[in-house]
Structure formats: structure tokens, C-alpha cells
Amino acid sequence: MGEFNRMTIVAAAEVISDTHSHDMINVLEVQWGIENRGGGGSKSGRVTSLSKAAIDGGDLVHTESGLVSIERALIETALSQWPSVETKPSWRKLKAGLRFDGFEVIEPIEDEDSWMTSSPSRSASLVRMLPADIPGLDMREAESEVVKLLRKHQLSVAEGHLARAVSAFQRGEWSGANGELRNFLESYLNEIAVKFGCDPAADSKQKRDYLGASVQPPFLLADYNEWSAGGQKSPFVQALMSRMHPHGGHPGLSEEEDATFRLQINLVTARLFLRRLDRGPY
């Protein structure tokens, strides 16, 4: 698996297409040694060839920051085009893709009183949101395993909600992603409860209670405060459900940051529960 997902790479190529002429793209291809893999008579053709070259990989290439992979060179070149592209759809898609890859895009600002002052080059930069060397924190790996387990156990409703959530997130449609993630969380727990024998007509709370009280061994663990009888302890699952259903936006909070948090915590939580389902015994 590469450092960046395919949508991120394509978005970076689109940013370059939006800001470079054909001749300028030719120069980049020669610099990176991919002129034999480039070409295309239209800008969309150039996006395709640049994206394929980055995905296929190859030798490290020379950039101002040293020897890097082709995909990293593509991303760095796209970031260097800020702020001329900050209002373009390709830039929004690039930022969303990078968040899914675990990176925050830092856009320098002009305010001299801010802790984050603009650099001479005014180039946007990347900051990794999560440690790269801790197992289990890669969001793309989490999504891949979650999808695999959803399909294995035929949790098709939840799989559909997750696919729509990720698609909306990558397009930068934060509200749409949040709504689908709420449905995803509720759906896979409901579907698991029904698999274990719960009445399909029961409501979602009744199905969560079933997973905590009626399944043996319990699927939702009271000892871990995932569930509690009567909900006296503000159990984790209910608290997460409440966090996914806030009442309106809150001043000072970024929609992007909130949507990223929701995606991350939902993928990690789903992976925990789906691994438990897969291990059994049930």
C-alpha cells in the first residue's frame, strides 16, 4: 500500500493540471524520469498519466526536499500551488484525501500575531495527524479490514452506509459523511444483534441491550463500560452514539476536523467490534 490513497493522488494531479501548462507538465515528467509514461493531448489525459505514474511507482526522484517517491513528489508539487488553488474543487478534494491518509494540510496565514506565520514560499505543508509507527492507526488499513469483515459477515446495510460516508468525506461533503457514519454505527450493531437472534422489529436501543444482556458470552462488554443495564454508567457505545448526533454546529469548531474525528473513531470502533464478531464464539 502506498503512502497516499488513489483519490489523493488523482486530486494532486488535478491541482497540477489546474495550475500548469502542458509544457510545464512536460518539464515535471522529465525531471521525475517519467516522460515515457506521461503524455496526453488534453489536461484530463495529463491527470490520468501523472496519476498512473505515481500509483505504479518506480525509482526515487529528485525534488527540492531531496529524493522522494513519485507519489510524494506529486503531492509536494500540488501543495506548492497554494494559495492560487485554494478555491478550486481539486484543492478541497486533495485536502479531504490527505485527511483520510492521516495528514493535516497547514495553510500559512498572514496574521503576524498568530503562532502560525506565513513562510516565504507561502507553500502549504503536511503534518501527520496520527503517529505512523503505532499499529492500528492507519485509517485506510482500518477501512480495508472493516469492509472485508462487513462483507464476510454479510452486514450489507452497514457496508452501504460506510461506502457512502467515505465517498462523501473524500469529496469534502462533511455533513453528508457525518450522517452516513451515524447510520453506519447504528446499522452494524443492529445487524449483528439480528444475527444473534434479536427481533428485527426491535428498536436500536433494544438491540444494543440485547448485545449486552442476552448474548452469551456478551457481545458488548459491561466490564469495559461498552454497555450497562439501564445506561447508568454512560456506556461507551451510547456515548459514541450521542456524539454522532449533536444538535447543530458549534462556533469555533471546524467541520473538517469534526468529520475527520468522526471517521477515525468510527473506523477504529467498528474494527474492534467486527474483529470480536469474527473471532466468536457466537
Q: What is the pTM of this model?
A: 0.69
When computed from its CA atoms, the radius of gyration of the chain, rounded to whole angstroms, is: 22
* Cα–Cα distance measured from residue 231 to residue 222, given in angstroms and rounded to the nearest whole number: 10
- Compute how many other C-beta atoms are within 10 angstroms of the C-beta atom of residue 28: 19
pLDDT tens profile 126-151: 877 666 655 556 667 777 889 999 99
pLDDT tens profile 4-32: 988 899 999 999 999 999 999 999 999 99
pLDDT of residue 110: 53
* Cα–Cα distance measured from residue 137 to residue 231, given in angstroms and rounded to the nearest whole number: 29
Domains of the chain, residue spans? 6-102, 139-279
Residue 117's pLDDT band, with cuts at 50, 70 and 90, is very low
What beta strand segments (E) does 91-149 contain? 103-106, 125-128
Helix boundaries (H) for 130-233: 139-152, 156-170, 174-195, 204-213
For residue 224, CA distances in Å to 20, 212, 218, 219, 227 come to 54, 11, 11, 11, 8
* Cα–Cα distance measured from residue 123 to residue 145, given in angstroms and rounded to the nearest whole number: 35
* Cα–Cα distance measured from residue 57 to residue 54, given in angstroms and rounded to the nearest whole number: 5
Count of positions (residues) in the chain: 282
110: left (phi over 0), alpha (psi -120 to 50) or beta: alpha
Mean residue pLDDT across the chain: 85
Closest to 176 measured CA to CA, from 184, 185, 164:
164
pLDDT tens profile 50-67: 999 999 988 898 888 889
* Cα–Cα distance measured from residue 18 to residue 10, given in angstroms and rounded to the nearest whole number: 12
